[in-house]
Amino acid sequence: MSGHSKWSTIKHKKAKVDSQRAVVFQKYSRELIVAARLGGADPAGNFRLRTAIEKAKAAGLPNDNIKRAIEKGAGAGAADNYEELTYEGYAAGGVAVFVEAMTDNRNRTAGDVRSYFTKYNGSLGANGCVGWMFDQKGVITYNEETDFDKLFEEAINLDAEDVTEEDGSYKVITSVENFQNVVEGLEKAGLQSETAELTRIPQNTVEVTDEKIADQILKLLDKLEEHDDVQNVYANFDISDEIMQKLEG
């Protein structure tokens, strides 16, 4: 998963440089709309909406935007009819790519996603072709100032699957089914998380040693991330720090 983490770091750097706030805000607004439409406008009784609000606030989405998106989803405004879709395929070098999207025009989104894969030497496949390579998990992140012993004990008591240390932070891993229970249980224990989200973790990684292939992979993932309809992108590559530095340079 190290390659995915490195790519995430690069994305955050790019976001600051490129100031693509409008695209980011659009993604969070769509999640708020869909969450409110499916589970109602009260975050106290809608866990998906509650986590969406927390992520939107952390990303800097203004409170007015959050309120409008929730009202749209709950039927107080003219809501766009978004549907959730996934796309699966391979990037250059045989790297598996899993895409989660929300769209009001599936033909447009599918056409765009397919063209990106083709442009950067990849191929879009049928649903199921790579999805089995990724385990869907809940990941709850805590900063390094958190009492690790307490976090570990409470998490295990709540039947979390694992507690790890990575890049100066602690991560609690849960099943999808137990995610809400663990998040709320740790909060009751006085442990405040930095982030809590459902993600897809690759079962194994593909080591990429060719600089040209690495460049094609990263360009494909960036292009997908920049698309308005794409919410999340997951890939199972591992690129060395040396090649990363060359590409960043």
Which pLDDT score, from 0 to 100, does residue 20 have?
A: 63
Handedness of CA 191, 195, 199, 201 (dihedral sign): negative
Within 10 Å of residue 38's Cβ, how many Cβ atoms?
A: 12
Which pLDDT score, from 0 to 100, does residue 244 have?
A: 87
Which pLDDT score, from 0 to 100, does residue 218 have?
A: 93
Q: Which residues pair with 159 in a beta bridge?
A: none
For residues 98 and 131, the answer to whether their CB atoms sit within 8 Å is: yes
Over its length of 249 residues, how does the chain's per-residue pLDDT go in tens digits?
Answer: 334 444 444 444 444 444 467 778 888 999 999 999 989 999 999 999 999 999 899 888 899 999 999 998 888 655 568 889 999 999 999 999 999 999 999 999 999 999 999 999 999 999 999 999 999 999 999 999 999 999 999 999 999 999 999 888 999 999 999 999 999 999 999 999 998 999 999 999 999 999 999 999 999 999 999 999 999 999 999 988 889 888 887
Query: 133-202, superfamily in CATH?
Result: YebC, transcriptional regulation domain (3.30.70.980)
- Is it true that 86-128+203-248 and 133-202 share their CATH fold? yes
φ, ψ for residue 232 (rounded to 5)?
-145, 150
Q: Using DSSP, state whether 78 is helix, strand or coil.
A: coil
Which pLDDT score, from 0 to 100, does residue 106 have?
A: 94
Q: Tell me the whole-structure pTM to 2 decimals.
A: 0.83
CATH number of this structure's domain 2-74, picked from the four choices 2.40.50.100, 1.10.10.200, 1.10.3720.10, 3.40.50.1370 = 1.10.10.200
Q: Which fold has domain 86-128+203-248?
A: Alpha-Beta Plaits (3.30.70)
Q: Give, in degrees to the nearest 5, the angle at Cα 200 between 212 and 60.
A: 90
The DSSP call for residue 168 is T
Going by C-alpha positions, the residue among 12, 10, 28 that lies closest to residue 217 is: 10
Going from N- to C-terminal start, the domains of the chain cover 2-74, 86-128+203-248, 133-202
